[in-house]
Amino acid sequence: MLPPLPDGRVRPAVLAPAAVLSSAATAVDPLDPDVVALAADLLATQRSEPGCVGLAAPQLGVPWRVVSLDVTGHPKARTGHGPMVLANPVVVAATRWERGREGCLSVPDLTGDVKRATRLVLRAVVPGTGEQVEISTDAFEARALQHEVDHLDGMLFLDKVAGAHALHARQVYL
């Protein structure tokens, strides 16, 4: 799920409130060179941010359905597919819902408790190759993928927190 990519550019993350984070993104042609370049920028930007496991194109200000993800080495991850970039991802099955705490590069100071499926099947297309993939995953990779797909639908974790007291100040570890 990691095609040959050009060198990506680290781009500034868009922060909430920004209209692009609350609007549905549009489907892309996975073979479009601009889409491939965007995928490379997503991965480069994600890797430049400590603790960031995934990024969606709207977070770079681009309303396209492209995400990057890599949960390798994360303590909450069980199954992991390594670094990936995906175009037009669609959740086809989501089961075994559990509450967990998550943050977002676009909402830097807050975290929230959000119920997510811990078993997930997702279909997508690999930018650059056009390969159709189906990803079956669980635990933290499943959570991260749902968070990124939500971005493509104009949803933030703020729209899904579990209750009036499910929002927290992000802990700063010095």
Partner 1 sequence: MTSGRVQLVVTVIGRDRPGIIADTTRLLAGLGANLEDSTMSILRGHFAMVLVAAADVTATEAEAALAPLSADGSLQVSVREVPAEAPATPLGATYLVSVHGADRPGIVSAVTAVVAEAGGNVTDLSTRLSGELYVLLAEVDLPAAVDPEQLDRDLVATGLELGVEVSMRVLDPDVL
Residue 111 CB, shortest distance to partner 1, in Å, is 11
Residue 41 or 102: which CB sits closer to partner 1?
Answer: 102
Footprint of partner 1 on this chain (CB under 8 A)?
Answer: 15-17, 22, 107-110, 156, 158-167, 169
Cα dihedral 117, 137, 152, 106 sign: positive
CA 161 to chain centroid, in Å, comes to 17
Residue 4 CB, shortest distance to partner 1, in Å, is 38
134 catalytic per annotation: no
Residue 52 CB, shortest distance to partner 1, in Å, is 18
Catalytic (active-site) positions:
148
